[in-house]
Structure 1
């Protein structure tokens, strides 16, 4: 007989577990795809905020709202300089509103 363990999950528990697994897989994919970025393209939060001409607090708020792309390696958060440039070119109002 095998050592099978069965757990009683309700629908919410199962959905939450599946979401957690999917989030972890996405994080792993993001880390793998972005860890190959050249070091000169990686910006820390402080460097990215200076690059955009905003405060670190504003950058963190934008990150939480999904306005700026970022990636995480371990516990460190990085931004791609080329992605931030592309974002700034597409959304001039985003940068202008921060500089008022």
Structure 2
């Protein structure tokens, strides 16, 4: 049985690694979420970026490449949380770190 040896890592390295793991688990749970309250469905660009742990510029790039669904209302861009999560389920490589 393989026993990993954890030496040569700083506390900061370990904290960073744990944070990465927790964020990946959170994204997985979020993507697999099925029921969304209609009041929580509409997201601003900032909220959508936070949902996936990405920058707003990243979302703009995805939008320009037609990789994610979006809506434009009176010049403002909005996203459907349900549709974004469905897109993420169908394209898991899109939301990988």
1:31-88 superposed Cα distances (whole Å, 9 cap, x missing partner): xxxxxxx442100000000001111000001001100100011011000000011011
Would you say how many aligned residue pairs link Structure 1 and Structure 2?
Answer: 60
Q: Counting helix residues as a fraction of each chain, which structure ranks higher?
A: 1
Secondary structure of the residue that 2:88 maps to in structure 1? helix
RMSD of equivalent CA atoms: 0.9
Relative to structure 1, the CA distance from residue 39 to residue 72 in structure 2 (aligned partners, 3 Å threshold; closer, same or farther) is farther
CA distance in 1, matches of 2:47, 2:77: 11
Where relative contact order (Cα < 8 A, 6+ residues apart) is larger, the structure is 2
- For structure 1, the residue ranges without an aligned partner over 5 or more in a row are 1-37
TM-score scaled to structure 2, two decimals?
Answer: 0.59
TM-score scaled to structure 1, two decimals?
Answer: 0.57
Rg (Cα) greater in structure: 1
Report 1:22-41 matches (<5 A).
38-41=38-41
